[in-house]
Chain A
Amino acid sequence: MIVGILALQGAFREHEEMLTRMGVPCLQVRLPRDLAKVDRLIIPGGESTTIGKLLVMYDLIEPIRQRVLAGMPIWGTCAGAILLSSKIIDGKADQPSLHLMDIDSRRNAFGSQLDSFEADVNVAGLDAPFHTVFIRAPILENPQGACHTIATLPDGRVVAALQGHMLATSFHPELTLDDRIHRLFLSL
């Protein structure tokens, strides 16, 4: 099993280092031909506008959508979660998305970099709280149908959601040494 990491821009190296520590083979994905070689895909944190633009320019949107609709597990962290959502709120007009999960994302929901933070958050299915890092992070809103919330902040705002084989987290497990969310993704 090879885990693909979308390497158009952003924190792909951090995911790669985490998976390598876990002994899981992984591959950077930049072009549609790379996609054929992987069994799962992680979309890392970065700038969702930049990654979205490069997804469109290199004709990756439909190939990724088709693979995921055919059952390939996918996980988006932060910018990746925005790109998985069905509607992007407070984004750039006409910002591209994969429209795969039945949930909305709200960009820069906490404010500017000065509002970036760390906190311990309970995640459904994990035995103990997960130390989360939020950087100019989005929140998730209005999950529908098979999409359900697996983590919220104390004020109720949704920061992680699961829909079958699709996972979205608005925080960055790849910036920690805790591999539990990576294991959760590998179990999908």
Chain B
Amino acid sequence: MAIEKSTWTTKAGLAQMLKGGVIMDVIDVEQAKIAEDAGAVAVMALERVPADIRKQGGVARMSDPELIVRIKESVTIPVMAKARIGHFVEAQVLEALGIDYIDESEVLTPADNEFHIDKHRYKIPFVNGCKNLGEALRRITEGAAMLRTKGEAGTGDVAVAVFHARTVLGEIRRLQSMSEDELYSAAKNLQAPYELVKQVAQAGRLPVVNFAAGGIATPADAALMMQIGVDGVFVGSGIFKSGNPSVRAKAIVQATTHYQDAHIIAEVSKNLGEAMVGINISSLPQDQLLAGRGW
């Protein structure tokens, strides 16, 4: 009997198993355990959450492998970690650590201003960010097995996440109304392969799981993204920069499952303590915006 490891089905399949769930940023073993206890479907192991990367500035890189391994050993749920855009050696290192998913992330300082990682070369699956359908399909072409629409990480302001999720989903709906010859032109405009564009037009959705990320800070934010039409949510600074991380994390997990039930969302939103203070995105200078990174 032939056993085939690390196939496309197993890579995209793990993301399918994460659907309807919350993936939480954690910076140490204690936070990882709180996240797992709260019902996170996976944790993102990193040294600094985006809010701190913003505050401290400087170059943001892959986290210390020792930290990632310690977090991996402390939980039973999947562990993800971030590599810089285009930094294929950071990706090799993360694969060698035997974690479950790599996020090629604009939250870290990009290592390559032209090329993303050729993700087909890896056994480990990748998740990538996207602002629009063209970017989503280019990442899939490079081998991404999961996507997340980009928000403005570390702000606690959900507006950019909403905008990019609506953009991607709206573009998919427009493709569905196009004739075959219009799809050729659409593929050209999207800068994406025609076959993939045609597949999305026929299915009415992306061929991989798509989460929302960046700026999600409350249960209602998570349910908002789910109702807009994403498959699950990443919460970064929103949990561990809030007054009561454990309670808030549980509430966001419940709101993501019961995203269509306003009574449940109301119930879980009570007495959560202080939300992360946040930064209004419109007050940020252009050079401090992260979501625009990626090509």
Contact = CB atoms under 8 A, between A and B. Distances in A.
Interface centre among A7, A9, A12, A54 (most CB of B within 10 A): A9
Contacts of A153: 1
Contact of B2 (A8, A13, A116, A120): A120
Interface string A95-120: 00000000000011001111111111
Contact of B39 (A50, A107, A108, A113): A50
Interface in B1-41: 1-7, 9-11, 13-14, 16-21, 36, 38-41
Q: Which of A11, A78, A90, A111 has the most CB of B within 10 A?
A: A11
Contact of B99 (A9, A107, A112, A133): A112
B123 interface: yes
Nearest to B7: A118
A111 B79 CA distance: 12
Interface residues on B, range: 35 or more
B5 A116 contact: yes
A132 to B, nearest CB: 10
Interface residues of A, number: 43
Contacts of B224: none
A12 B78 CA distance: 19
Interface stretch (A41-49, A61-69, A139-147, A180-188): A41-49
A14 interface: yes
A114 B5 contact: yes
A57 to B, nearest CB: 7
In the A-B complex, the 4 residue pairs with the closest CB atoms: A116-B10, A113-B100, A53-B39, A9-B20
Given A47-B18, A113-B14, 19 more contacts: A8-B20, A8-B257, A9-B19, A9-B20, A11-B16, A11-B19, A45-B17, A53-B38, A54-B253, A54-B254, A92-B76, A108-B76, A112-B100, A113-B100, A114-B95, A118-B3, A121-B1, A153-B1, A175-B16
28 contacts: A9-B256, A10-B17, A10-B21, A11-B19, A46-B18, A46-B19, A47-B18, A49-B77, A50-B77, A53-B39, A53-B253, A54-B39, A91-B76, A92-B76, A112-B72, A113-B10, A113-B14, A113-B99, A114-B6, A114-B95, A116-B6, A116-B13, A117-B6, A117-B7, A118-B7, A121-B1, A136-B14, A175-B9
Interface of B: 1-7, 9-11, 13-14, 16-21, 36, 38-42, 72, 76-78, 95, 98-101, 123-125, 253-254, 256-258, 261
